[in-house]
Amino acid sequence: MFDLQPQCRPAARPSRAGLLARGTVVAALALSLTALGGGVQPSFAAQTRDAAPPVSAQRFHDQMRELWDDHITYTRLSIVSFAGNLPDLQPTEARLLRNQTDLGDAFKPFFGNQAGEHLTALLRVHILTAVDILVAAKAGDTAKLTAAEKAWYANADQIADFLHGLNPGQWSDADLRAMMKRHLDLTLKEAVDRLHGHYAQDIADFDAIHRQILGMADMLSDGIIDAFPDRFC
């Protein structure tokens, strides 16, 4: 969970430039969420709390890394438990799904509750579709595997597009799509190597996943800090 309690000295009065920059982000958010449809409407309560004391940018950066590190760690543990028919699979998957809620919650103070909940919903599809891939791969069902992989990559594009819509000035849609695709490519390779018993390669896969996800986490935290400079110190 993110801790956005005050961690710095009281902030100076927001500059006119900072307020204008914030207004630009809020306006872009409203337009992007309206275009996305699906009943998602922006909530600006968090963005308009000008009196809220700033928090540590370094701590925010570290917490974003922790959340995405949890994402790949519990994904890996789920793959290991699934491949080995271990009895801890169900609680491990439950913890993995909780991480998707934590990730959505991290975006709420900046982009509103409904935006955070929509992100959580997209990330839950990301996880549940990965489960479909594992089941189909283990069963050797090529048709179901192909369909699940297609849905998985389509969902990754949806996540990238949604994040871009939240903060278009900081998060390039092309960069987000590339990062999400790379995350899926590496995770799929990890799962295949684990299911086939290629354990040394499986470990190397996870090392690559870890490096990649930290880069994505940094892109997201840097984009939020740059878009809401008055919220950080």
Q: 134: which 2 tokens?
A: 């594992």
Say what the pLDDT of residue 47 is.
45
Question: How far apart, in whole angstroms, are the C-alpha atoms of residue 108 and residue 59?
Answer: 17
CA 200, 92, 132, 210 torsion-angle sign: negative
Say what the pLDDT of residue 6 is.
54
The CA–CA distances, whole Å, from 187 to 54, 99, 207 equal: 36, 17, 11
Over residues 194-229, the pLDDT tens digits come to 999 999 999 999 999 999 999 999 999 999 999 999
The CA–CA distances, whole Å, from 145 to 131, 136, 201 equal: 11, 5, 22
Say what the pLDDT of residue 33 is.
36
Say what the pLDDT of residue 112 is.
98
Say what the pLDDT of residue 31 is.
35
Overall residue count recorded for the chain in this entry: 233
Say what the pLDDT of residue 152 is.
98
Say what the pLDDT of residue 35 is.
38
Q: What is the pTM of this model?
A: 0.81
Say what the pLDDT of residue 27 is.
37
Question: How far apart, in whole angstroms, are the C-alpha atoms of residue 159 and residue 182?
Answer: 13
pLDDT under 70: residue ranges of the chain: 1-7, 9-52
The CA–CA distances, whole Å, from 166 to 97, 144, 219, 226 equal: 22, 33, 14, 13
